[in-house]
Amino acid sequence: MIDLHCHVLPGIDDGPETIEGSLALARVASAAGTHTIVATPHVSAHYPNDPDTIARLVAELNERLVAEGIAVEVRAGAEIALTSALELPAEQLARLTLGGGRWLLIEPPFTPTASGIDAMLVDIARGGHGVVIAHPERCPAFHRDRTVLEFLVRAGMLTSITAGSLVGRFGGEVRRFALALVRDGLVHNVASDAHGATKRAPGMAEELGEAGLRPLAAWLTEEVPAAVLDGGEVPPPPRGAIEALRPRRSWPWQRR
């Protein structure tokens, strides 16, 4: 699996504090079946991280992973707060894409209203970037008005939900919303959003299995993120897999 959203780099956000913590996270991810982790440290007013620091830490961590014999490769990326994405110079934003491709991971605000979110995201996409919306299922604005998210997906944006959301780690409401988004074809990726080996731990397969989404697992955690890292178009989901999740309508005369 490819983990498209993971706070694996040491000491630059609310992820591991030391490189030992990063290695511990990578060990757990590897045991859970992850071969590639995209390092997505926060880039926000609170964590003003820059592409050079991220690249340097990715290189250091990869060196240590090889030395320790941990079969995980780390690629550079970022989780960019929506407001920061609008304020950053274009040249800097272009260097914060996922794996150097064309897609940016954008974190929508956790405010309760959606007013303006759609226009701001469209603005970023107009700059020539693909937009991956981070954990929309945890964003109160999308709970209040799901049509905003539907519009953004129709406009070509991708969504990446957190594996833990599927099994109730953020409460029942987030879980139900996440599953409804998957059933309605509004989810393209599931990532760990891990912050440490035990703090929101890495891994996606177990959660996908528990949520009954195994038929979509390879598409969500391998095929789509591989296309995102390549900077290409995302492949369609396996035929019939999403439809199969929807409850079948049964007419009274069909019931026995």
List contacts with Fe ion (CB under 5 A): 79, 193
Shortest CB 204 distance to Fe ion, Å: 14
- Cβ proximity to Fe ion, 77 vs 237, nearer residue: 77
Nearer of residues 204 and 242 to Fe ion, judged by Cβ: 204
Tell me whether residue 226 is exposed, middle or buried, using C-beta atoms within 10 angstroms of its C-beta: 0 to 12, 13 to 18, 19 or more. Answer: middle
Q: Which of 118/193 has CB closer to Fe ion?
A: 193
- Give me the least distance between CB of 63 and Fe ion, in Å please: 24
Burial class (CB in 10 A: 0-12, 13-18, 19+), 167: middle
Q: What gap in Å lies between CA 40 and CA 43, rounded to an integer?
A: 9
Looking at this protein, which amino acid is placed at residue 121?
L
Residue ranges of E strands in the chain:
2-6, 36-39, 42-43, 73-76, 79-81, 103-107, 130-134, 158-162, 189-191
Q: Closest approach of Cβ 252 to Fe ion, in Å?
A: 47
Strand partners, 43: 80
With CB atoms as reference, the residue minimizing the distance to Fe ion is 193
Q: Which residue number, 160 or 242, has a Cβ lying nearer to Fe ion?
A: 160
What is the C-alpha radius of gyration for the chain, rounded to an integer number of angstroms?
18
**Residue 87 C-beta: closest distance to Fe ion, Å:** 19
Nearer Cβ to Fe ion (44/114): 44
Question: Least distance (Å) from Fe ion to the CB of residue 160?
Answer: 10
Report the C-alpha gap between 163 and 77 in whole angstroms: 19
Residue with smaller CB distance to Fe ion, 43 or 114? 43
Q: Cβ 134 to Fe ion, closest distance in Å?
A: 6
Please, are residues 122 and 128 in contact by the beta-carbon 8 Å criterion?
no
Q: What is the DSSP letter of 220?
A: I
